[in-house]
Amino acid sequence: MLRILFTGGGTLGPVVPLLAIAETLSGRADVEIVGLVGTRSGPERELAHQAGLKFFCISAGRWRRYWDIRNFGAWLLTKIGFFESLILLRRLKPTIIVSGGSFVGVSVLWAAWFLRIPTITHQQDVRPSLANRLVSPIVRKITVVFRETARAFPKHKTVVTGNPVRSSILRGDRERGRERFGLAPGVPTLLVFGGGTGALALNKTIVEALPELTKFCQVIHITGIGKGGTNRALGSTDRYHSMEFLARGMADAYAVADLVLARAGMGTMTELASLGKPAIIIPLPGTHQEVNARLLREREAAVVVPQTGLTSVRLTESVRSLLGDAARVRALGEQIRGVNPRDASQQIVRLIEEVGQMK
């Protein structure tokens, strides 16, 4: 029997593909999902519990690609996490470990290598993460979303699979979404979110734009936990519906949305691709998201608006222009479907079965 342990966290980005894989594996008699190893303070604990997974946490340091005194602290936390992982893995006895590519996985995968447990790591973003670079010498396989990314890793262990998407995301219902969020029929709906941990700058701009936005559309705004800020004072109105976090209702939010405004995390991008949702993408400046967004722009799969110089006026006009152009909205939806294969989860499951038999 395969005993699979997942690891990922700090943000929801590295966790969501793991949950999609777990969903694909659910119900199999020859597989036991041991649980998810994450961080102590990240948002992944709640999502793991909602998915019915046992949750374990270890110390994790966030490394930076440049010189920074905080890297010493990250090194210390990673070292502590390594020894915590050794104890945890000896207790849980997994036969294979799958990482979502975050820093918490660095300690876990190195501990697994020490204990000779086979491992796989998943690289979502176009630009390889530092965490995955740190573990690439010792993992058995590296799964990537894009061929452009494969060049950064050893050829013999890298497989292009696409990004797993939870099947539950595909089961949203437009009418149920209208009822859930109290939306009016016949009014275009804009869904806004900044990823699993929210986006303060995006939240601020949306709030400033609301007086104009709500003249021609209704807004579902997922702010992120603790990042509602001034949105709390606004509350929910007939055309503005704000919440900090949404898990079970996310599929319905996607289903009812005519247009999505979001960051360029790969989890978000591949969910949009699976659903064929037209989107305005505002990448987080100075991060891997700019590379992700560039790929969408080159494929004419989304409207990309830089955060630098972004104002409520410019944002409002971008939304108004798209919602008023049905042909372009349809074209964007069709183009973004080609960004991610629908069978990514199945491909990675086959790889897990293969690697899990390795000694």
Domain ranges in the chain are 2-165+341-356, 168-339
Phi, psi of 222 (to 5 degrees): -100, 110
Q: What are the backbone dihedrals phi and psi of residue 11, each rounded to the nearest 5 degrees, phi first?
A: -135, 175
What is the separation, in whole angstroms, between the first and last Cα of the chain? 14
Whether 356 has a pLDDT exceeding 50, the answer reads yes
Residue 75 has pLDDT above 90, yes or no: no
What digits encode the pLDDT tens for the residues 194-229? 865 457 889 999 999 999 999 999 999 998 877 665
pLDDT exceeds cutoff 50 at 16: yes
Residues paired with residue 97 on neighbouring β-strands, in sequence order: 5, 119
Q: Which pLDDT score, from 0 to 100, does residue 66 have?
A: 62
Q: What is the pTM of this model?
A: 0.82
| CATH 3.40.50.2000 corresponds to the domain 2-165+341-356 | yes
Least confident of 51-65, 92-106, 140-154, 162-176: 51-65
Read off the pLDDT of residues 239-249 as tens digits, 9 standing for 90 and up.
999 998 887 79
CATH second-level architecture of 168-339? 3-Layer(aba) Sandwich (3.40)
Residue 348, pLDDT > 80, answer: yes
DSSP letter assigned to residue 284 = P
Kindly report, residue by residue over 127-159, the tens digit of the pLDDT: 899 999 999 999 999 999 999 899 999 999 999
In the numeric block, the tokens 């697994």 are attached to: 112
Q: Percent of the chain, pLDDT > 90?
A: 75
pLDDT at residue 79 is higher than 50? yes
* Cα 94 to chain centroid, rounded: 25
CB 101 within 8 A of CB 17: no
Same fold, 2-165+341-356 and 168-339: yes
More confident residue, 231 or 126: 126
Rounded Cα distance, 254 and 294, in Å: 23
Spatial contact of 117 and 95, defined as CB atoms under 8 Å apart: yes
Task: Count CB atoms within 10 A of the CB of residue 117.
Answer: 20
Least confident piece of the model among 5-9, 212-216, 323-327, 355-359 = 355-359
Please state the rounded mean pLDDT for residues 21-47: 92
Return the pLDDT at 233: 45
